Amino acid sequence: MSKALLVLSDGVVFEGEGFGSEGEAIAEVVFNTSMTGYQEILTDSSYKGQIVTMTYPQIGNYGINEEDIESQGGIKAEGFIVKEVCEFPSNWRSQASLVAYMKKSNIVGLQGIDTRALTRHLRNHGVQMGIISTKDLNPESLLEKVKKHQGIAAYDFVKEVTTKKIYKWEAGCWKWCVVERSKAVLKVVVYDFGIKFNILRNLVEAGFDVTVVPAQTDTEKVLEMNPDGIVLSNGPGDPQTVTYAIESAKKLMGKKPTLGICLGHQILGLAMGGRTYKLKFGHHGGNHPVKDLSTGRVEITSQNHNYCVDINSLKGQVKLTHKNLYDGTEEGMQHVELPVFSVQHHPEAGPGPNDSVHIFKRFREMIERFYAKKN
């Protein structure tokens, strides 16, 4: 395979081999520590605008299958970096190899670099822009290209990944999911900011009738649909760029019970007048311990975020409900009066542990309580 380069915006160069598609990709370089789940990671719209590095050294072992995708239309990450790619998968569900899948989605991959060194560099110096190229092998010209790029904070990726049309979702989780499926009795409208299918699957399992709407849908239109609850989904990029979503959240809060996940959680934080800040190297992995402060239980969670809500900026308005035991950052909040709660981690897993899947049940219970009180 041909030579390929990764050049970071601080001038550090990694040389390896290209795999997947030929070409060039400029994006923010992040690392993910999950040992499984590369297919879910690649198809997660939250990775739009990012090049993902896997810390686990051999990726592709179990191939690609049609069931484990997290979004329609192939890979969403801009590029993929691994230590070693496995071209001959072994798994009964495998339908294609990772390399073939990357080619089909027209995504550039880089393998054969010291991913541990790259991860350390990102941990020490923070996530930054980078470029992978199989065409241009001149580090200086690549560095120039990265420097010219205005950075991802300037982009609204949500517009690119959200659905164009309103649609209904009916599929449940993959056959062996932990949650028992309840009958769909409650209607929920999900704002798609780059939704992971597993959120929709888990909502179905928890007994919801699910309708997905585009990110810029008017709140009036949503309220006309008369849902029992609203979900603000995960999604890519800086929450401050999605001003229309923050406005919608402001209008909806209190009218309908609301659950926010990841970007949805940050949007709620901003809608309440709080502030968000960027983490040095983000949380991307499937092993973060999160303490549920109401039960005292520690759950191992799936994480994928670079931004956080500053809980101190919302004093008096919300209660902290979840805390990350790695770095003490906030992972969830509950409004003190309104039926609004949100989590920063991913209760839907995909990839990662199902420990927090009960969040969907909690959402359902909140809705039930809300309407019981009203009647």
List the structure tokens of 297.
């239980």
Residue whose CB is less far from other proteins, 92 or 226: 92
Q: How far is the CB of 201 from other proteins (least distance, A)?
A: 11
Q: How far is the CB of 41 from other proteins (least distance, A)?
A: 9
Residue whose CB is less far from other proteins, 40 or 238: 40
Whether 305 is a known active-site residue: answer no
For the chain, what is the radius of gyration of the CA atoms? 20
Residue whose CB is less far from other proteins, 165 or 176: 176
Residue whose CB is less far from other proteins, 42 or 318: 42
Whether 262 is a known active-site residue: answer yes
Q: How far is the CB of 174 from other proteins (least distance, A)?
A: 5
Residues near other proteins, by CB under 8 A: 33-37, 39-40, 55-58, 61-62, 65, 67-68, 84-93, 115-116, 119, 174, 176, 178, 285-289, 291, 296-298, 300, 325-326, 349-354
Of the residues 121, 205, 262, 305, which is catalytic? 262
Number of alpha carbons in the 13 Å side-chain half-sphere of residue 363: 32
Residues 6+ apart with CB under 8 A from 140: none
- The Cα-based distances of 171 to 77, 363, 367 in angstroms read 24, 19, 22
Of the residues 284, 330, 348, 358, which is catalytic? 348
Residue whose CB is less far from other proteins, 221 or 297: 297
Whether 86 is a known active-site residue: answer no
Query: Under a CB-based contact definition with an 8 Å cutoff, are residues 128 and 102 in contact?
Result: no
How many Cβ atoms are within 10 Å of 319's Cβ, its own excluded? 15
Smallest CA-to-CA distance from 22 within 8, 4, 44, 43 is with: 4
Q: What angle do CA 196, 201, 205 make, to 5 degrees?
A: 150
Q: How far is the CB of 247 from other proteins (least distance, A)?
A: 36
Q: What residues form DSSP beta bridges with 20?
A: 108
How many Cβ atoms are within 10 Å of 154's Cβ, its own excluded? 10
Q: How far is the CB of 111 from other proteins (least distance, A)?
A: 11
Active-site residues, by number, are 262, 346, 348
